[in-house]
Structure 1
Amino acid sequence: MFADLLKRLTTPAADPFPEPDAQLAMAALLVRIARSDGDYAEAEIARIDKILATRHNLSPFEAAKMRGDAEALEAQAPDTVRFTRAIKDGVVYEERIEVIEALWGVVLADGVRDPEENSLLRLTANLLGVNDRDSALARQRVEARG
């Protein structure tokens, strides 16, 4: 499963992801943003599980399994572009803003806005076609929810 998905992630002419792969691509982005500062904190892991469970109507066990699959995929994938392409190609703009909110939720889960996380999130928003203003508003909504 991972070998096939990795092959599609790393080949230049990859086809758009089918829905399960788009879900896994989003999960891998959540993991990548959490790991980007070198501190994959328990608060971030818990937030990822909560996001996956809520967004995909999964049980806590299913969400943790999806996160585990995403961790393995993220560790092997060379860049972020293919993850974002899978989402951008298959998700309308408003839902991409929801992805940015989820990413901000992970960044802010440990109470620290690390420069590496900020930088990766800004790049990711750009790759998803979400402008800086909408990303900032997404961050503010996440901060307001606490």
Structure 2
Amino acid sequence: MFADLLKRLTAPDPAPLPDPEAKLALAALLVRIARSDGSYDNSEKAHIDRILAARHDVGQLNVAKLRAEAEVLESEAPDTVRFTRAIKEAVPHEDREAVIEALWSVVLADGVRDHEEDAMLRLTANLLGINDRDSALARQRVEARG
């Protein structure tokens, strides 16, 4: 399963991903952001689980399974540019700001804003077609929610 998805992610002109694979790719992006500072703790995992449960309306067991699959995919996935390009194709533009909010919530889940996470999120937002201003506004909305 992962080999086929990775092959599609690394294709020169990736086709839009079917919904289950788009969910997995998005979950893997959440994991990639959480791991970007070299620390991937239980608070970040729990936060990813909450995001996945809310976004995909699945139960706790399925969320844990999806995150576990995403962790494997993230570790085997190509560079962030190609990886994010496939997600950009799978997620409509109007939904990408919500993706950025979810990514910011993962970055802020452990209570520490790390410069590696900031840099990874800035790159990811740009690759998803979200400008710095809209990303900053997304971060502010996440911070306001606590």
* Shorter-chain TM band: over 0.9
Amino acid at match of 1:9: L
Amino acid at match of 1:100: I
Describe the superposition over 1:63-116 as per-residue Cα deviations: whole angstroms up to 9, x where unpaired. Answer: 110000000000001211233223322322231000000000000000000010
The residue aligned with 1:91 is 91
The residue aligned with 2:138 is 138
Describe the superposition over 1:31-69 as per-residue Cα deviations: whole angstroms up to 9, x where unpaired. Answer: 000000010011100000000000000101111100000
Matches within 5 A, 1:3-14: 3-14=3-14
TM-score, structure 1 length as denominator? 0.95
Contact 2:47 2:106 in 1 (8 A): yes
| Seq. identity, % | 71
Structure 1: 4+ residue segments shifted above 6 A: none
The residue aligned with 1:115 is 115
Contact 1:26 1:83 in 2 (8 A): no
**Structure 1 residue runs without a partner (length 5+):** none
Separation in structure 1 between the aligned mates of residue 80 and residue 95 of structure 2, nearest angstrom = 18
Separation in structure 2 between the aligned mates of residue 4 and residue 92 of structure 1, nearest angstrom = 23
The residue aligned with 1:39 is 39
Count the aligned residue pairs.
Answer: 146
Amino acid at match of 1:76: E
RMSD: 1.1
Matches within 5 A, 1:13-92: 13-92=13-92
